Structures are given as C-alpha cells and as structure tokens.
Amino acid sequence: MGSEESRLRAKERFDKLQKNAQEGAKAMADYEANSRAVRAKSERLKALRLAKEADEKRLAAEAPPKPKSKPKPKPKAKPKSPPVGK
C-alpha cells in the first residue's frame, strides 16, 4: 500500500507541476501580447504627434509674419511730494 500512496503523491506532484507550467506559459503569452499592444499604441501615437508637429511647422512657415506692435509708452511718473512733518 505504501507504493500506491507514493505513486499517487508523485502523480499529484506531477499534475501540479504541469498545471503551473501551463499557467506560466499562459501568463507569459498574456504579458507578451500586452507588451506588443503597448508598443503598437506608442508607435501610433508617436506618428500622430510627429505629423501634428510637422503640420504646425508648415503652417507657421506659410503664415505671414505678424506685424510688430509699437511698444506702449510708459506712463510718466508723478513727482513725489516732500514728506509731511519735516
């Protein structure tokens, strides 16, 4: 009977190892799929950003330069009155 118990324990241990290996493989596949998705999204967003920056740069180059406004004159300072009491 002892050999049958040890055989059952060995089978349970083997089944547990197999289950852990399958779960590990599934977790790794999920991790890699998520990593690919993040990389693809980052590449898409970078392409959109670069296109927007290029478009803004092109529009800025095509736009006529803004005329410089005249500087506003500074208000004249009021003359200070002498201190009171002296």
Q: Which residue has the higher pLDDT, 21 or 68?
A: 21
Domain range list for the chain:
1-63
Whole-structure pTM over 0.75, yes or no?
A: no
User: Is the pLDDT higher at 80 or at 36?
Assistant: 36
**Which of residues 84 and 5 earns the better pLDDT score?**
5
How far, in whole angstroms, is CA 19 from its chain's centroid? 36
- Report d(CA 37, CA 30) in Å as an integer: 11
Helix (H, G, I), strand (E, B) or coil at 64: coil
pLDDT single digits (tens) 32-47: 999 999 999 999 999 9
The pLDDT of residue 42: 98
> What are the pLDDT digits (tens) for 46-62?
999 999 999 999 998 88
C-alpha to C-alpha distance for 14 and 7, rounded to whole angstroms: 10
